[in-house]
Structure 1
Amino acid sequence: MLNKISLGGLILTLFIISSPAFAKDQTFTIVDTDQKACFDNTNLMDCPDSGQSFFGQDGQYKGNQPAYRDNGDGTITDLITGLMWVKARGSKVTWNSALAGAKDCNIGEYSDWRTPTIKELYSLIDFNGWLFDAKGAKPFINTKFFDFKYGNTNAGERDIDCQDWSSTKYVSKTMNSDPTVFGVNFADGRIKGYAIIKPRNRQKNKLYIRYVRGNTKYGQNKFVENINNKDKTVTDQATTLIWQKDDSGKTLNWEESLSYCEDLTFAGRSNWRLPNAKELQSIVDYSRSPATTSSAAINPIFNVTDKESYYWTSTTHLDGPCPKNAVYITFGRAKGYMKSPHSGQGKWLDVHGAGAQRSDPKSGDPSKFPNGHGPQGDDIRIYNYVRCVSGGKAIPDSPPTPTDFKASKSKRPSNVMQRQGGMNEKGNGQMQGQRQGQGQGGGMRQGPPAEALNACTGKSQGDNCSFTTPRGTMNGNCLQVGQDNQMACVPEGHGRRQ
């Protein structure tokens, strides 16, 4: 295969392989999130100095920078992880077809392709992405190297209906006992569990697949408890990251979480930081869950205050792209408040699986979200646990404030509604018909029609509703939408789910 690699590419490859990131024992090199800006609770900001509010966020630490090589044969090599990927987007397939199809893949004349694990797949995520509709969005993957396309709205899909399968099956089940597989949505920057069989029509769910080869040890942790001085830290020799064995013991909002780690002097170290999204996801143990092992989804070498806990990361999640949310990892069940369309009774369910990656408002009052948020009723906690990290490749950085960053509230289009994770709409989901990978595309006009508003007069959030249109009767749920959080009847299938 050397004849396929240019001299420059070969030199770059040799340079990276000889770098500390490719150390012999470091089989699980974490690629930086590539977030190069700083944010407060709601806006873009100049990166703060040590001791100031919001210091220590993702953009202020520079890790292993993403580096790819297009091999010119339909494959892309990740020069940091050592993984090789299929460049093309391909077509949507069932999960079983995704698994079986790897052996028939011969792209680049290789015969050892496999379906990626969730940790392998997540290595590709790039948190410079943001979500509008497809015309105003930026994918959470480097499209200079990887082919990508949003959902086909002309075929009734939503922009975000473009998730990728992994090979990682959830050890428990989601929703109403649905067998579930983890996947990454590179349109909105999330990990969620997706049902193998669509609950509404019992048809096999179809997502995209991108095969991988090389570095079969990627994603496998090698934890060693540092007991010589009983400092209660754990080193992952696969990543070279050093972790607190114990978590914060209490929940904090995002700003408090940044300060907690930056101010921490512990085990002879003062260089603790709040982990970024990829660092924290690296220690998820997808063989564990509260339902199957009576534990959080983490190696038992770590202590956990609450097995149903969510943990903050330092990474801002650009949903809109107003930077009101930050990424968290669910080490407990990723809960959502779901209402039955028949009885109207709601209950909390595991909607996305332990090990999902979602996002929370950075600040606010969680009591304002008694039924969660969005069509799947995502559990809004705002106050989450913290586990600080040290070591690895991350070095302090002070990136300049970008001048072309689209973070103005006024640039958020009003026709993109019910996107989980944002603050503009609150609501809850339904157990049937409001599930992963389902629903219709299209948006909404510059505000709900009067009929939709009137249909929810005197009703509560999540109640069933209906109103008459020229096309017939529309059934849905009462949800708060728009900048003014007006209560309106949102038709079934128009919720923006990930």
Structure 2
Amino acid sequence: MFTLVKRTLITVACCMTGTTFAQTTPINPVSYPVVSITSGQYQNNNDNTITDTVTGLMWQKDYKVLTYNEAVEYAKSANIGGYNDWRLPNIKEMYSLILFTGVDASNRDMSKVPDGAKPFIDIDNFDFAYGTNGTRVIDSQYLTTSIYTGKIMGKDEAMFGVNFADGRIKGYPLVHPRTKQDNKFTVRLVRGNTDYGKNNFQDNNDQTISDLATQLMWTEQDSQTGMNWVEAKEWIVQLNKEQYLGHSDWRLPTIKELHTIVDYTRSPQATNSAAIKPIFAMSSIKDEQGNVNYPVFWSSTTHLRVGPKSQSQAAYFCFGECLGFMKRPNSETRTLLDVHGAGAQRAEPKEGNAEDYPYGHGPQGDVIRIENYVRAVRDLN
């Protein structure tokens, strides 16, 4: 099922056809700039490529729908815009494209795009359609090379993908659990700036951590307790009143800032740790079954969705297993599983009572806690 949002005819200049050469140096040498949540500052090169002048990445304008193995072969042979050094993006690169001016298309009727939905990607520059790689409106999961170091659903190998229809990162199974066929994903290639997404952390020995790549300073320790989103903002205000660690300009990070400190090489299953480098202190929690896990962390970013409560949720990242109460087929029995992987990005109500969601929310029974943790950030001066 395809619902085309926007598609622009590309005319390639005659002088570009037949030209094949490799360019290995970054288009615009930068390290790891955190792209605005509203704009990527794109340049349409009119040859089926788009240059992001902030990140130094060049992107394929259109897309393909392929399995993971097919995508690997496609990238090897791709010649787009006269370049032959295209690659599949990792999760940090792909997430640079997400825009939180989007409105989540999730709704009860997944066969049609609801009124008010808006893609989480710049459709003035990139081709996009709802339902590109599946039967539901929200099946627009974009493939990356970031394979989860654990397993989702207790057994499935998964790839972290970005969904530009619902504004989330999740671990998606590479093989369909029932049909045993390779799943297909939406594929957009990238080239240039191979340093994008690489941190350069520095321990300042004063309970702060600087990232010279993003030019952000983080608190070494987190809040050590959960709180709702409104309380999280108030907690930041209090830090600034106290000039915490000598600074009065702390803030709740945007979801894209928070993503920069997620470490996809780490997970509770693979490294017995949170998905963050050990230079940071990380609280542990007891999850809904009493097992040791790690918190999810609030961002300042509202996750817009269709309906009357369009601004009632905020985006967060799972630094521990991203749990859900999965219902067994043909049964009412539910099992608490890592349904999306450590490093997934979801959203939940800014306020409320978690007891109102005894079996979570959504098709995977996403655990709703509402009282989540916080790590403060500020700009490096």
Normalised by the size of structure 1, how large is the TM-score? 0.65
What residue is the counterpart of 1:462 in the other structure? none
Is 2:133 the counterpart of 1:158?
Answer: no
Alignment of 1:13-412 (within 5 A): 27-34=31-38, 65-90=39-64, 92-132=65-105, 133-134=112-113, 136=115, 137-151=117-131, 157-227=135-205, 231-264=206-239, 265-306=243-284, 307-320=293-306, 322-342=310-330, 344-391=332-379
Aligned mates of 2:380, 2:345 — CA distance in 1: 22
For the pair shown, the structure with the greater C-alpha radius of gyration is 1
Q: Verify the 8 A CA contact 1:99 1:167 in the aligned structure 2.
A: no
- Cα distance in 2 for residues equivalent to 1:302 and 1:171: 20
Q: Is the 8 A contact 2:210 2:380 kept in 1?
A: no
Distance 1:110 1:392, change over 3 A: farther
In structure 1, give the amino acid aligned to 2:52: D
1:443 aligned residue = none
Q: Displacement of 1:339 after TM fit?
A: 2.0
> Gapped runs of 5+ residues in structure 1?
6-15, 35-64, 394-498
Counterparts in 2 of 1:156 and 1:269: CA distance versus 1, 3 Å: closer
Query: What code does the residue aligned with 2:125 have?
Result: F
CA separation in 2, counterparts of 1:392 and 1:181? 33
Shift of 1:112: 0.8
- RMSD value, Cα: 2.0
**Structure 1 residues 156, 305: closer, same or farther in 2, change over 3 A?**
closer
CA deviation profile, 1:117-148 (whole Å, cap 9, x unmatched): 10100000000010345252210000010000
Say if 2:114 and 2:306, in contact at 8 Å, map to a contact too: no
CA deviation profile, 1:233-287 (whole Å, cap 9, x unmatched) = 0001110100000000100100111121233122211000000010001100000
Offset of residue 292 of structure 1: 1.1
- Displacement, 1:328? 0.4
Specify the alignment match of 2:9 in structure 1: none
Note the C-alpha offset of 1:392: 5.5
Within 2, Cα distance between the matches of 1:339 and 1:77? Answer: 44
Bigger shift: 92-101 or 236-245?
A: 92-101
Q: After superposition, what is the alpha-carbon deviation per residue over 1:390-431, rounded to whole angstroms, capped at 9, x for unaligned?
A: 0069xxxxxxxxxxxxxxxxxxxxxxxxxxxxxxxxxxxxxx
Gaps of 5+ in 2: 1-13, 17-26, 106-111, 285-292
Partner of 2:109: none
Amino acid across the alignment from 2:194: T
Instruction: Give the 3-state SS of the residue equivalent to 1:238 in structure 2.
Output: coil
The question of whether the paired residues in 2 share the 8 Å contact of 1:67 and 1:78 is answered with yes
Structure 1 CA distance for aligned equivalents of residues 161 and 113 of structure 2: 20
AA partner of residue 327 (structure 2)? K
Q: Distance in 2 between matches of 1:67 and 1:156?
A: 30
Alpha-carbon distance between aligned partners in 2 of 1:179 and 1:246, rounded to the nearest angstrom: 32
Aligned length: 338
Report runs of 4+ in structure 1 exceeding 4 Å deviation.
none
* Distance change in 2, residues 1:156/1:355 (3 Å): closer
CA–CA separation in structure 2 for the residues paired with 1:309 and 1:131: 24
